[in-house]
């Protein structure tokens, strides 16, 4: 759950990274942009310089915010104490026999293995559509 929350926070962080609050009373978010000078040929063959406002969000790959794959494997002992499941992640000696080895009392604890796999999430539809709209506006400025 924490990994999912971290990923969600990272995606929400896109708003802070690529958008800023407007200076109007409504506090709308507007895209952070950079201004690039582009040179083009005019109808008469002369060189013209145009300023293009490029939203920063159109310049970065959105795939960097996703977790491709991470696997965590942990060995643990588990035991129910007073109706609650308790997990112990301490490192045991070889063979799981504990310090006493073969001559120790049988352990009531069970050995378990936990494996968590975190797979990539798809880019949210709203974010994808928003970036496509900014890219479309950028293309109109350049054309």
Q: What is the pLDDT of residues 32-65, one digit of tens each?
A: 999 999 888 888 888 888 899 999 999 887 654 4
Q: Angle CA(48)–CA(50)–CA(53) in degrees, nearest 5?
A: 170
- pTM, two decimals, is 0.52
Q: 101 and 82 in one domain?
A: yes
Q: 58 and 76 in one domain?
A: no
Q: 10 and 37 in one domain?
A: yes
Q: 3 and 55 in one domain?
A: yes
**CA–CA distance, 141 with 45 (Å, rounded to integer):** 20
Q: 57 and 7 in one domain?
A: yes
Domain with 57 in it? 1-62+124-143
Q: 129 and 95 in one domain?
A: no
Note the pLDDT tens digit of each residue in 60-108: 876 544 555 666 677 778 888 888 888 887 765 545 444 445 445 555 6
At residue 43, what are phi and psi to the nearest 5 degrees? -60, -35
The count of structural domains within the chain is: 2
């Amino acid at each position: 759950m924490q990994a999912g929350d971290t990923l969600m926070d990272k995606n929400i962080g896109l708003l802070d990274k690529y958008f800023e609050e407007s200076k109007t009373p409504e506090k709308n978010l507007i895209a952070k942009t950079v201004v690039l000078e582009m040179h083009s040929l005019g109808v008469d063959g002369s060189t013209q310089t145009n300023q293009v406002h490029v939203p920063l969000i159109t310049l970065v790959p959105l795939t960097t915010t996703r977790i491709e794959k991470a696997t965590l494997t942990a060995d643990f002992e588990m035991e129910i104490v007073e109706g609650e499941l308790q997990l112990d992640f301490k490192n045991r000696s070889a063979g799981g026999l504990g310090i006493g080895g073969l001559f120790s009392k049988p352990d009531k604890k069970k050995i378990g293995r936990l494996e968590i796999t975190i797979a990539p999430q798809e880019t949210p539809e709203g974010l994808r559509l928003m970036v496509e709209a900014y890219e479309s506006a950028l293309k109109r400025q350049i054309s």
